[in-house]
Amino acid sequence: MQLTKIEKISGQIELLSGLHIGSGNTEIHIGGTDNPVIKNPINQEPYIPGSSIKGKMRSLLEWHLGVVDVTQGQPLSFKHLNDKRLNESKDKAENLIRLFGGAPDNNNDDELVKKIGPSRLSFWDCSLDKNWVTEMNNKSIMLTETKMENMIDRIRGVAEHPRNTERVPATARFDFNLTIRVHDGEDLLDTVLQGLKLLELTGLGGSGSRGYGKIKFTGLRLGEESLQEKLEAINL
């Protein structure tokens, strides 16, 4: 197996609704937000961790392929490939492991591990587009918003348990980049684009069922080649 080339997919993620990716902050500050978003500790600007995109995209592709019942909710790995339920989709399952990696153990077939090789995708953290930040600063608009929420008592019709959640507002733009390691001239681009389309259809971050985190990719390209039309043409 030989590393043929490393390709870069780039573009932007535009928010169609407010995005919340939590920081895991366990401290409570007077007058603060119950659920803050993750921020760069240097400039305090929110960003989208590459791990969040990778994890959601991998999960969606595994659901779409229909392997979640085989893995019992765990990430698809080498040990699952010998399951007879994957016979008809084994090639696609192998491609998912090629893209995202697996966890070989002592019971795995060494030849299969060598055949699939190392993970191909590397996801980058997505920083806010500098032009959008400048536009917000010129308008004296903050880079995040606080959304108030509560639960309604169905019988009494009153609000209970008020809470506030910090979000990056709709219209925000993030710079998006990932790289694909290509071995022996293989072509796994269609699966990557399918994963990006699934992200557009389902969203990122928490509270997606309540309308958070709806996104779209813009200006998507592979090197100098545009991928936007290919992405928009995908029907799932």
Please give the full DSSP string across 174-185, using - where no structure is assigned: EEEEEEEEEETT
pLDDT at residue 31 in the model = 42
Instruction: Please state which of the ranges 43-52, 111-120, 176-185, 219-228 shows the lowest mean pLDDT.
Output: 111-120
Give pLDDT, residue 28: 45
Residue 51 confidence class, pLDDT cut points 50, 70, 90: very high
Q: DSSP 3-state assignment of 83? A: coil
As a whole number, mean pLDDT of residues 41-46 equals 94
Average pLDDT value over all residues in the chain: 87
User: Of the ranges 24-28, 97-101, 207-211, which one carries the lowest mean pLDDT score?
Assistant: 24-28
What is the percent of the chain with per-residue pLDDT over 70, rounded to a whole number? Answer: 89
> Residue 91 in contact with residue 147, Cβ under 8 Å?
no
Assign 26 a pLDDT band (cuts: 50, 70, 90): very low
Q: pTM above the 0.85 mark?
A: yes
pLDDT at 34: 58
pLDDT score recorded for residue 22:
82
For residues 9 and 31, the model is more confident at: 9
Residue 157's identity, in one-letter code, is G
The residue extents of the domains of the chain are: 3-232
Question: What single-letter amino acid sits at 231?
Answer: L
Residue 175, pLDDT score: 97
Which of 94, 178, 55 has its CA nearest to residue 104?
94
Q: Is the pLDDT of residue 24 over 80?
A: no
CB atoms within 10 A of CB 231: 19
Q: What is the pLDDT of residues 116-168, one digit of tens each?
A: 888 999 999 999 999 999 999 999 999 998 887 767 767 776 666 667 888 99
Quick check: 213 pLDDT over 50? yes
pLDDT score at 157 = 67
Say which residues have a Cβ less than 8 Å from residue 227's Cβ, sequence separation at least 6. 9, 11, 193, 220, 221
